[in-house]
């Protein structure tokens, strides 16, 4: 970061292609999401071995897949490359901020694996521990993604209630897990967190995001020298 800052002052900043970088980060997110698929498969193996194809096992496996696609879809809601191409000074925070995005995705995969331990007689894993190991990373993912998107467009989303719900649902899942609710019911609340954001976006919230994106790009093009400094 120091080297790039000094180089920028002298007109020698390392050249990079915004769309290529955004694509690379997107592919890394997809690779990290592979951990959630592996975690779901690991849990499925234990569940089917101990309980067979019961309601609980079917729900856990299905919700693991739904959660994976919800995280994937949420990540790609904002076209980051369009902003980075005109606001290159946003790159450092956006790039290093992905540490939390990638880490939380991988942690979700580990948490899904923990669910399998909850059904294995060789381990003493409570429903609360299993759900918390997924819910906390999902909260971290949704929060970090929201902040990164806000950083890119220099504005917070207007649908604050939806963003709040996306964080409250996993927390609520931990509460009912502590009250001995069925594991699949708790996992359903966690999976609804990214799904709600995706459904809201597809049902019309994309207009707000598109307007924020347009304003950010237009503002950056109007002041190219200020943004690049």
Q: Give strand ranges (E) for the chain.
A: none
Is residue 87 within 8 Å of 220, Cβ to Cβ? yes
pLDDT of 219: 75
**Residue-wise pLDDT tens digits, 26-65:** 999 999 999 898 888 888 888 888 777 878 788 888 999 9
148 pLDDT above the threshold of 80: yes
Top-confidence residue, 8 or 227: 8
* Percentage above 70 pLDDT, the chain: 90
pLDDT of 44: 84
Q: Taking residues 125-153, report their average pLDDT.
A: 91
161 pLDDT above the threshold of 50: yes
CB atoms within 10 A of CB 62: 16
pLDDT of 175: 96
Distance, CA of 84 to CA of 107 (rounded, Å): 27
Distance, CA of 212 to CA of 214 (rounded, Å): 5
**Residue-wise pLDDT tens digits, 172-214:** 999 999 998 988 899 999 999 999 888 888 887 767 777 777 7
Task: Work out the pLDDT band at 228, boundaries 50, 70, 90.
Answer: very low
């Amino acid at each position: 970061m120091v080297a790039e800052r000094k180089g920028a002052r002298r007109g020698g900043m390392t050249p990079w292609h915004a769309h290529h970088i955004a694509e690379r980060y997107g592919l890394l997110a997809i690779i990290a999401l592979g951990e959630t698929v592996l975690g779901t498969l690991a849990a499925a193996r234990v569940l089917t071995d101990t309980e067979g194809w019961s309601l609980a096992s079917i729900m856990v496996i299905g919700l693991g897949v739904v959660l994976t696609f919800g995280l994937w879809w949420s990540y790609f809601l904002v076209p980051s490359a369009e902003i980075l191409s005109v606001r290159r000074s946003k790159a450092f925070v956006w790039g290093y901020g992905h540490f939390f995005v990638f880490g939380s995705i991988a942690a979700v995969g580990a948490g899904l694996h923990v669910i399998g331990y909850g059904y294995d007689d060789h381990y003493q894993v409570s429903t609360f521990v299993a759900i918390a190991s997924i819910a906390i990373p999902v909260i971290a993912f949704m929060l970090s993604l929201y902040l990164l998107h806000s950083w890119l467009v220099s504005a917070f989303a207007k649908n604050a209630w939806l963003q709040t719900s996306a964080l409250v649902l996993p927390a609520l899942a931990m509460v009912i897990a502590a009250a001995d609710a069925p594991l699949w019911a708790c996992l359903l609340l966690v999976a609804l967190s990214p799904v709600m954001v995706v459904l809201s976006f597809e049902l019309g919230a994309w207009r707000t995001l598109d307007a924020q994106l347009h304003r950010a790009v237009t503002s950056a093009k109007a002041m190219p020298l200020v943004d690049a400094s």
